[in-house]
Amino acid sequence: MARQLRAEQTRATIIAAAADLFDRQGYESTSLSDIVGHAGVTKGALYFHFAAKEDLAHAILELQAAAVRQVVADAENRGRSSLECLMRTTFGIARLAVDDPVPRAGLRLVTADVSVRPPLRHPFTEWLEFATRKFAGAVKDSDLHPDVDAGTVAHSLVCFFVGTRVAGRSIEPVSRLPRRVAEMWFLLLRGLVPVHRRPRYLALATQLEREIRAA
């Protein structure tokens, strides 16, 4: 049991080190030797758990997917409206990016064209499907204008959200991401939500940003 625990701890250490390097310097610019040195393990220990750098990347993508699924479950678990659930999910993913290098690295990996192996699905596909469902639900709830095309708006949201992180990586610290997500929602809500329902969701965007900053 103690040996198994040590092995699990070593694996987690290697993943955390790889995620940190992938996020800071990119997948292609990171070697296995870099990861060994950053993790403080031997090459033998790394190869015991991961046969290649691609395996490490896939492990990070699996952990990112699990973390995002938990964010979605938490957002949906309290009978919230479709639009509130979607907003809470985007801020939840932003919080993951701020707090944890593993999901942060996962986003960088998928924007660097690292392949996603089945049965794992590409996160952008999952996010697009989820956002489409939620926007469609928001139209039914009368939280969006009735002529809103859910699929089109979902595509814009995912591109906006991902682009904010990709552009921000080069020009500002990740701690700025919650502010950028709030700004994204301020723009979207003013164009999508009827005037009489707008104050609730504008206030929610401000509240969710403050919660991340206070955490």
pLDDT per residue rounded down to tens, the chain (215 residues)? 577 778 889 999 999 999 999 998 999 999 999 999 999 999 999 999 999 999 999 999 999 999 999 999 999 887 899 999 999 999 999 999 898 889 889 988 988 878 888 898 999 999 999 999 999 999 999 999 999 999 999 999 999 999 988 887 878 888 899 999 999 999 999 999 999 999 999 999 999 999 998 87
What pLDDT was estimated at residue 146?
A: 96
The first and second tokens of residue 162, run together, are 């991902």
CATH code matching the domain that covers 61-214, chosen among 1.10.10.10, 1.10.3300.10, 1.10.3720.10, 1.10.357.10:
1.10.357.10
The conformation of residue 60, written as its DSSP 8-state character, comes to H
What pLDDT was estimated at residue 1?
A: 57
Q: Is 28 helix (H, G, I), strand (E, B) or coil?
A: coil
Global pTM exceeds 0.85 = yes
What pLDDT was estimated at residue 159?
A: 94
Find where tokens 């192996």 sit.
Answer: 117
Q: Is the peptide bond before 118 cis (omega within 30 degrees of 0)?
A: no
Q: CA-to-CA distance for 33 and 30, rounded, in angstroms? A: 8
Which of 107, 97, 102, 104 is closest to 175 using CA atoms?
97
